Structure 1
Amino acid sequence: MRGLLAALVVAAIVPQAAGAARVEPRDLTLFEVDAPAGYLFDQGNSAGLSRAALAASQLDEARKLVREGFMGMYVARYMNTAPPRWRFVTSGAYVFRRTAGARSTLVSQFRSPAGGGFGPARRIRLGHEGWVRTSSASDTGTIVFWRHGRVLAFVVCSHMTRHRALAEELARKQESRMASRLG
């Protein structure tokens, strides 16, 4: 009887763990309905990347992500081409095998010292650990990045006014979707 009970417990746990490993990164990003009015899905600049594709890379950064337990990622881009210039919203999600991989990548990739025209990272209340970086130019952009368990996510708003407020608003929408899908 104990053997049967143990088998039932294992059978109940294994499918849940296997299902958790099959999180689809695309489902954890913003959808077109989430984008502001006038922003359309930019299929040519949206894409996914699998663990197998990354493992085949010779780049040191790719190899590091694979060692960290990278499982897959997806980036969705939305653009508004109305004058006076094009504006972009980019949403992404990296899925890792374990929380430690997402945490390590967050620290090494996103919380690095200021550079590329962006100021230092500042904490934000979002997910399990959230940060925001804003460009030094008033209309260049903002990136919000955060970790929700084993997923590392980001939203970038660029080439628009009010980019920080919009980036934070959209990041909260994306986090809400992630929380409902990941539990």
Structure 2
Amino acid sequence: MRNSILTVFAATMLMVGCKKNESTAGYQSTDTQTVSPAVTDKDSIKPADSAATNTATTVSLSEQDKKFADAAAKGGIMEVMMGQLAETNASNPAVKALGQMMVKDHTKANDELKQWASKAGYTLPSGLDADKQKKYDELKTKKGTEFDRKYTELMVDDHKKDIEEFKKQSADGTETSLKSFASNTLPTLEHHLKESEKAKAAVK
């Protein structure tokens, strides 16, 4: 009888031990599964590194480059807008022709500058600053001979300043393509100045 009781007790203890081992094995399996998300988190860093690499490819510009590009963009926009006014508001044929030339040549130069900015990853001004807007608004109120005199006067003054700025960029700029744009546009600006001076003399 005593031996039977001992046998049953031993069998019971073996069953309990097996269940503990099964339970322990389950915890070990769960611990192993929790390791994998950590590896996924490390992999998710890669897109940020790629973005940083893309940003680094943007062309490096000096303060001179940026100052010139901004001024050339705003000046070019003003020349086109004023040229369009001359086509309709001028009374002298020479002044109308001057306006047409300004629209044609500065539209071309503006497009070339935009192409450079797109390749360089640089954002150009899309409108006039306060000073140029004021000049345009004042010119817009004038008609006939009064317009002719004011427009030709503005064209002479502005192109003298433009030539100085483009020469400075040709000499002091650091970005090769922008320097080439300045150098290649200079002959056109010098021609504009001569034609503006002729038109100014014709309306006095």
- Does TM, scored on the shorter chain, surpass 0.5? no
Q: Which has the higher contact order (CA 8 A, sep 6+)?
A: 2
Instruction: Point out the structure with the larger helix share.
Output: 2
Instruction: Point out the structure with the larger strand share.
Output: 1
- Normalising by structure 1, what TM-score? 0.28
